Structure 1
Amino acid sequence: MALTEWTKSMEWLAAASEDPGACKQEWQNGSTGVALLAAGRFWDVLIVPEELGLRVADLLEELPLLDRGPCLLDARRRNVGFLLPPEPQTVWIGTGVRLLGAGTWITAPAPHCRWGALRWLVPPDGTGTLNMPEVLEMALQRCAGELSRTQGHPAPAACAAGGRVRP
């Protein structure tokens, strides 16, 4: 990846930090290699169980003409987070599914970097591209159904693992 693209991605992601300068410094020269980023301002994060999230990430990669949004794997916690546009009135329903919005935080390595169990499956591109909620919802439902059939037990939740409700 070209240095300018990496820098653009890092700037975009660091903007979600309370101190973007300190965030970039930690990514480049720090001891932890991760930064604390606020959800709910520029993006929300939909957290799903790892097995489901990895299948969804693969499915989204296969869709032509789709600009995929950032997707972060936390192998230690065994989950995948998809960055979505902030939608304060949206509720996602499913076993092991939770939406991180305003007032919540994630830890993340620099784009295109891995730090321990954290790595970007799809790093931010620096342009603000996010996952489309409607596409993600359909992919979650499809993959939850496939997991249900292949593993011989019910899907993780009603409405698969991605049903959304708008109050």
Structure 2
Amino acid sequence: MESTPGGRGVDWLADAAPDPQGCRAEWEASGRGVMLLPAGRRWDVLLVPGPLGHPTFDLLARRAPTGPVYADFADGQLGFLVPVGTAARWVGTGVRSAGPGTWVALPHPAGAGRGLRWLAAPDGSGRLTDPAVLELALHEVAGRLM
């Protein structure tokens, strides 16, 4: 086990890179900044607009542990890491997805960078947000916002 903050999370995220060891080394050398990683290898990402995403994250966090979720303050959205294949099947209005063939900028699990920070950082366990649970929470929050 690594002794650096977020070490297991870094390992887990870097495993999605074409060169995991090189990715880990570059990320650690960069001072805990942002790394561009491919979606669709270990996880997909559902990108939810902030006004819907923040209350949805709060609802999920109160009910049960969630998978990794990051906030992109520059774009005003939240990224929920979900199982591979979710992006291809997702049909929710206003929710964008990133799956195979797309790359996403992610902050170091122990820090933040360039307008990105983890609301629920990856811990290395591989836990992802269940898309069915996320969908129900999105519907519940959207109903409240109407």
Tell me the TM-score normalized by structure 2: 0.90
In the other structure, the counterpart of 1:100 is 98
Q: Residue 99 of structure 1: CA displacement?
A: 1.3
Distance 2:65 2:31 in 1: 33
Deviations along 1:7-33, one digit per CA (max 9) or x if unpaired, are 111100111122223322332222782
In the other structure, the counterpart of 1:90 is 89
Q: Which stretch of the first structure deviates more once superposed, 24-33 or 12-21?
A: 24-33
In the other structure, the counterpart of 2:138 is 140
Give the 3-state SS of the residue equivalent to 2:59 in structure 1. helix
Give the 3-state SS of the residue equivalent to 1:92 in structure 2. coil
Give the unaligned 5+ runs of structure 1: 149-167
* Mapped pair 1:110 → 2:108: yes
Query: How many pairs does the alignment contain?
Result: 144
In the other structure, the counterpart of 1:70 is 68
Residues 23, 94 of structure 1: CA spacing in aligned structure 2 closer, same or farther, 3 A cutoff? Answer: same
Distance 1:3 1:135 in 2: 33
Q: Which stretch of the first structure deviates more once superposed, 28-37 or 128-137?
A: 28-37
Larger radius of gyration: 1
Greater than 3 Å deviation, 4+ residue runs: 2-5
Matches within 5 A, 1:16-165: 16-30=16-30, 33-63=33-63, 66-87=64-85, 89-95=88-94, 97-148=95-146
Between the two proteins, what is the percent identity of the paired residues? 42
Q: Residue 145 of structure 1: CA displacement?
A: 1.3
Task: Report the AA paired with residue 112 of structure 1.
Answer: A
- The answer as to whether partners of 1:27 and 1:109 remain within 8 angstroms in 2 is no
Deviations along 1:106-140, one digit per CA (max 9) or x if unpaired, are 01111131112000110011010000011100010
- The answer as to whether partners of 2:70 and 2:116 remain within 8 angstroms in 1 is yes
Residues 3, 73 of structure 1: CA spacing in aligned structure 2 closer, same or farther, 3 A cutoff? Answer: same
In the other structure, the counterpart of 1:9 is 9
Deviations along 1:38-78, one digit per CA (max 9) or x if unpaired, are 11111110001011111111001110xx2310001000011
Distance 2:37 2:3 in 1: 22
Give the 3-state SS of the residue equivalent to 1:3 in structure 2. coil
Give the 3-state SS of the residue equivalent to 1:35 in structure 2. strand
- The answer as to whether partners of 2:8 and 2:124 remain within 8 angstroms in 1 is yes
